């Protein structure tokens, strides 16, 4: 259990993976200056050392926040994922320790959708192969296997923020859109939801994956699904590298069944730009390989930097957890003239009555109380007259089921 009511200059923030300057600017504007900024991710041992002193950490998709890393992070209050995906964070381990996790659920949606649309056009025209040949001095002027995108059938797997955005762009170019999702979804435009992945693969000329990494999506696209795709179709994956069985895709490409593929994410990705990228797909000219840059545009990175830094500063300054991916969401007003107690506890019977007893037994008047719970944890925020903040904090720390408690001045 930790008390993190600290002067802002003592709050240590570790930012990894070269998050955009807008994150630094936003944190500086909010008064946070004790920031260590690194352009790369850290391997587990180094990460454990650095995180030991950090109150906040900002990462992108490469940094793995495992149970062991959280174990070493005794001061950690919150994690900012400067991206959409949060599969690189052991969310349960974070929640168990009362560490809130935030991300940027929309800021790079458009960038991914634009990239996959462009890739679909290029692949249907055989551009990757013609381009590679031209670089080697070969002239492949031919209309063979070159198609317009207009009228083709697009099959989207995972009709969420990116899937729907891509769907709208694709329809505007005359594609007929179908999608498969585990949840029944309202179709945007004229898109049609189909009942099974097999049905989608049987009809689609272009297949694009936009699912999160979960136990159910891990290697959901393997030999069976590749066999169900139409001959001459294309496969695109800008979701997560573990969703597609890359060896099986390489075999299918060798057989000549597919017109091409565009892969942005890989089961193993280089840790930095200095490391070699190794993949069985490197040998295929008809495959567009990109280094996990679906969301890497100036616009997206700048927006993400600001959005996630604001969420971290807001949580640090006032306790608001709106849009946290693992915490009960509480939107809080400011608390001028009062002390604010933030109490994170196991969601077990009796905790709230014990908490309220702390105030009645000690004659502390509650000026405002906000409570949200979810399956495993509860988050209660209590505003009191500033004369009583420190006393209440001491008493709250010994309430049964307390995970973490801090006070904001």
Ligand X SMILES: NC(=O)c1ccc[n+]([C@@H]2O[C@H](COP(=O)([O-])OP(=O)(O)OC[C@H]3O[C@@H](n4cnc5c(N)ncnc54)[C@H](O)[C@@H]3O)[C@@H](O)[C@H]2O)c1
In the bound state with ligand 2HG, the residue whose beta carbon lies nearer, of 224 and 275, is 275
Residue 9 Cβ, how far from ligand X at the closest point, in Å? 34
Q: Does 155 sit near ligand X (CB under 6 A)?
A: no
Catalytic choice (12, 20, 240, 345): 240
Q: Could you confirm whether 20 is annotated as catalytic?
A: no
In the bound state with ligand 2HG, the residue whose beta carbon lies nearer, of 205 and 213, is 213
Indicate the pairing of strand 338-346 with strand 287-289.
Answer: unpaired
Among 162, 236, 352, 408, binds ligand X (CB under 6 A): 162
- Block residue for tokens 């505003």: 383
Q: Does 217 sit near ligand X (CB under 6 A)?
A: yes
- Strands of 366-373's sheet in order across: 366-373, 377-385, 338-346, 402-408
Q: Could you confirm whether 276 is annotated as catalytic?
A: no
Residue 83 Cβ, how far from ligand 2HG at the closest point, in Å? 3
Residue 212 Cβ, how far from ligand 2HG at the closest point, in Å? 9
Residue 214 Cβ, how far from ligand X at the closest point, in Å? 6
Q: Does 63 sit near ligand X (CB under 6 A)?
A: no
Q: Does 158 sit near ligand X (CB under 6 A)?
A: yes
Q: Does 161 sit near ligand X (CB under 6 A)?
A: yes
183 contact, one of ligand 2HG, ligand X, none, CB 5-8 Å limit per kind: ligand X
Residue 289 Cβ, how far from ligand X at the closest point, in Å? 13
Q: Could you confirm whether 292 is annotated as catalytic?
A: yes
Catalytic choice (171, 199, 269, 390): 269
Residues 351-370 that bind ligand X (CB under 6 A): none
**Contacts with ligand 2HG, residue ranges (CB under 6 A):** 60-61, 83-85, 108, 292, 295
**Which residues contact ligand X by CB under 6 A?**
84-85, 108-109, 112, 157-163, 180-183, 210-214, 216-217, 220, 238-240, 264-265, 292, 294-295
Residues with a known catalytic role:
240, 269, 292
């Amino acid at each position: 259990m930790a008390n993190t009511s600290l002067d802002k200059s003592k709050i240590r923030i570790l930012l990894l993976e070269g998050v955009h300057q807008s994150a630094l600017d936003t944190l500086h504007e909010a008064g946070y200056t004790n920031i260590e900024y690194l352009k790369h991710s850290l391997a587990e041992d180094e990460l454990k050392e650095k995180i030991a002193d950090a109150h906040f950490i900002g990462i992108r998709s490469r940094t793995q926040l495992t149970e062991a890393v959280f174990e070493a992070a005794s001061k950690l209050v919150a994690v900012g994922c400067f991206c959409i995906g949060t599969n690189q964070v052991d969310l349960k381990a974070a929640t168990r320790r009362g560490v809130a996790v935030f991300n940027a659920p929309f800021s790079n949606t458009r960038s991914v959708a634009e990239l996959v649309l462009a890739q679909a056009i290029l692949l249907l025209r055989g551009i990757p192969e013609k381009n590679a040949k031209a670089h080697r001095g070969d002239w492949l002027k031919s209309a063979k296997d070159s198609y317009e995108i207009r009228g083709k059938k697009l099959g989207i797997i995972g009709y969420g923020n990116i899937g729907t955005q891509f769907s709208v762009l694709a329809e505007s170019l005359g594609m007929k859109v179908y999608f498969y999702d585990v949840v029944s979804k309202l179709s945007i435009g004229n898109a049609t939801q189909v009942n099974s992945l097999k049905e989608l693969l049987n009809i689609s000329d272009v297949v694009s994956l936009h699912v999160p990494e979960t136990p159910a999506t891990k290697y959901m696209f393997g030999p069976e699904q590749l066999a169900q795709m139409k001959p001459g179709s294309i496969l695109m994956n800008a979701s997560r590298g573990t969703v597609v069985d890359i060896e099986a895709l390489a075999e299918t490409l060798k057989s000549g069944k597919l017109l091409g593929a565009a892969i942005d994410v890989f089961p193993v990705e280089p840790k930095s730009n200095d490391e070699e990228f190794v993949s069985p797909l490197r040998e295929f000219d008809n495959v567009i390989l990109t280094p996990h840059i679906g969301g890497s545009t100036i616009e997206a990175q700048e927006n993400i930097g600001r959005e996630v830094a604001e969420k971290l500063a807001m949580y640090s300054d006032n306790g608001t957890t709106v849009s946290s991916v693992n915490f009960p969401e509480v939107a809080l007003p400011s608390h001028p003239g009062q002390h604010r107690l933030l109490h994170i506890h196991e969601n077990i019977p009796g905790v709230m009555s014990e908490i309220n007893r702390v105030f009645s037994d000690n004659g502390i008047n509650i000026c405002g109380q906000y409570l949200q719970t979810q399956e495993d944890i509860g988050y209660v925020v209590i505003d009191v007259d500033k004369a009583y903040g420190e006393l209440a904090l001491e008493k709250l720390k010994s309430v049964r089921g307390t995970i973490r408690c801090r006070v904001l001045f």
